[in-house]
Chain A
């Protein structure tokens, strides 16, 4: 039963990683860039939600919607002013710019909201479902996180596969030049991708801080790196891959914490990543591209 408890908290943590990893993987798929600022968008979303709920005493779900709106615009603005001018630049230059944006967000947050950790109120209360005479307890936030992740996955898969905009996104990630010739507005599609990814980051931020209620300007950094790892784990650019990678990473992390050592859990997670990449160099569900000469 303890095992099952750990497994469920692993799935819950993994769901958060999966939602963040979706942002990384979609942006990578379409813009071929590692958006290092994504982790800090999570932090901004969490702060907006925090102030809406704790300071202005709004309904947590209105706070969440507010956070999503702010993050969506933030994502579009970052893309427009920092990444779009570098569309033709070498990828390392874009990477460094993304790191610059990440510092910018962290330090703006530091100035606006100070470095004192804030205690985040759970968006759904601290209760728990008790099963099997209380031996198995699933907190409401855990359940909500898992459900949210499943819903997001389903909606996103439908969106990508069934709608015209989704088709445009797939076309752009395949070949930008050809997509443009077919009359797809490539710039708008890239903006849309950033908007969706950042909106999801806001949800992830609120869920993350409800489960682990300390909020600081650096809150987003480590989950950001882990989720990025999850995206690579599952095969970067692949949406089911991000889902699978996120869940696996969460479960591995919780099990490593429980059964190996809490101090070495990060090392175990990263060691797993290395093993996976050695066996499958493009990640679990990544597409292996054959080099043509």
Chain B
């Protein structure tokens, strides 16, 4: 099914999709070999799972920002819904599913379901708005999710799950265990997230997005993005398609959140704040909106960059900011672009041919 659909695609598009898969697999093989032969430093090895999680976040937000054309400033909220529900599920399953990879997979699925539900609930009001107003409401929801999770207590005892808000009034029976502890988050998480699991999640997300984009729905997303009124006039149900993109994106973000959380022993809601949402948006815009490969590369590069800049110690975040600004100016200002195009002898030839 997938194959036939790909063959029918325009050649260039198909080539780009295969190239993306190829590069991701190649990067995985290289990293895995380097990691098993200890060429990779231990800090870099520790970053492999977060990089995978950020890659999935980048793919997921790209579906909303790049393909569906809506600016979302609260994507970290879905990540945190996924992280908390996934980790809580994993802790609850510890007793009867001893095999860690299965537990991880189930936890990510549960995280995706919870995040998708959150995405659906938030999508109902959000998708009625447009442009910057939509963006600010997603920001608001991100902050609300953070506030709620910061004040949420969840415990388990022989009577089942108990939860409370604001302060711990779960009144657990003897032998019960408090899982989510408000601002303290969840601690004592078993680190079951692995690099291969992260790689599989990246591949699954890519497959979902590529299949979606090159389907009837995907074409509808782009039609709505390019001209909402024209799309509406030919009978596309705008709310339905926008909701599909939003919920799919939230689900992927949830799975990524679970993966991310299970790489650490402690997770708190404040980790997924406005800055995290912005960081993910930076991946998408830097990589090129709608370009999955670009977003993935940007996610990896910007996660590694602060680490590599560590030798500049105090100046590293300053350099990070400068690199970000210069990249945005360099890729978006026509004069600067022409200047660089003029420096490249091959490019200049193309330009001359085009002119002729």
Contact = CB atoms under 8 A, between A and B. Distances in A.
Contacts of B125: 274, 278
Nearest to B126: A274
A267 interface: yes
Interface string A212-243: 00000000000001001100100010000000
A237 to B, nearest CB: 10
Contacts of A100: 321-322, 324-325, 328
A229 to B, nearest CB: 7
B158 interface: no
Interface stretch (A49-57, A175-183, A190-198, A258-266): A258-266
B166 interface: yes
B136 interface: yes
A101 B140 contact: no
A291 B128 contact: no
Contacts of B321: 100-101, 103-104, 107
B346 interface: no
B144 A93 contact: no
Nearest to B275: A221
Contacts, number: 125
A188 interface: no
Residue of A93, A110, A229, A236 contacting most chain B CB atoms (<10 Å): A93
A93 B285 contact: yes
Interface in A32-48: 34
Given A88-B334, A92-B289, A267-B148, A104 B325 contact: yes
Interface in A238-287: 261, 263-264, 266-267, 270-271, 273-274, 277-278, 281-283
Interface in A82-123: 82, 85-86, 88-90, 92-93, 95-97, 99-101, 103-104, 106-108, 110-111
B282 interface: yes
Contacts of A282: 133
A86 B132 contact: no
Contact of A99 (B133, B141, B278): B278
Given A107-B321, A278-B128, A281-B129, A99 B282 contact: yes
A293 interface: yes
Interface residues of B, number: 46
Contacts of B76: none
Nearest to B320: A103
Interface string B285-327: 1100100000000000000000000000011011011101100
Residue of B65, B229, B324, B335 contacting most chain A CB atoms (<10 Å): B324
B167 to A, nearest CB: 9
A232 B143 CA distance: 16
B82 to A, nearest CB: 19
The majority secondary structure among interface residues of chain A is helix
Interface in B33-91: 65, 71
B143 A267 contact: yes
A89 B333 contact: yes
A266 B318 contact: no
B324 A267 contact: no
B244 interface: no
Contacts of A28: 132
Contacts of A228: 136
B317 A107 contact: yes
B194 interface: no
Contacts of A88: 334
B319 to A, nearest CB: 9
A97 B333 CA distance: 12
A85 B325 CA distance: 11
B281 interface: yes
B11 to A, nearest CB: 28
Nearest to A89: B332
Given A92-B71, A281-B128, A229 B329 contact: no
Interface of A: 28, 34, 82, 85-86, 88-90, 92-93, 95-97, 99-101, 103-104, 106-108, 110-111, 225, 228-229, 232, 236, 261, 263-264, 266-267, 270-271, 273-274, 277-278, 281-283, 291, 293
Interface of B: 65, 71, 125, 128-130, 132-133, 135-137, 139-141, 143-144, 147-148, 150-151, 166, 229, 274, 278, 281-282, 285-286, 289, 314-315, 317-318, 320-322, 324-325, 328-329, 331-336
Given A95-B285, A228-B136, A278-B129, 6 more contacts: A34-B135, A82-B325, A97-B324, A263-B166, A271-B140, A281-B133
19 contacts: A85-B329, A85-B333, A93-B331, A97-B328, A99-B324, A104-B321, A104-B322, A104-B325, A106-B317, A107-B317, A261-B166, A264-B147, A266-B143, A267-B148, A270-B139, A271-B140, A273-B137, A278-B129, A293-B229
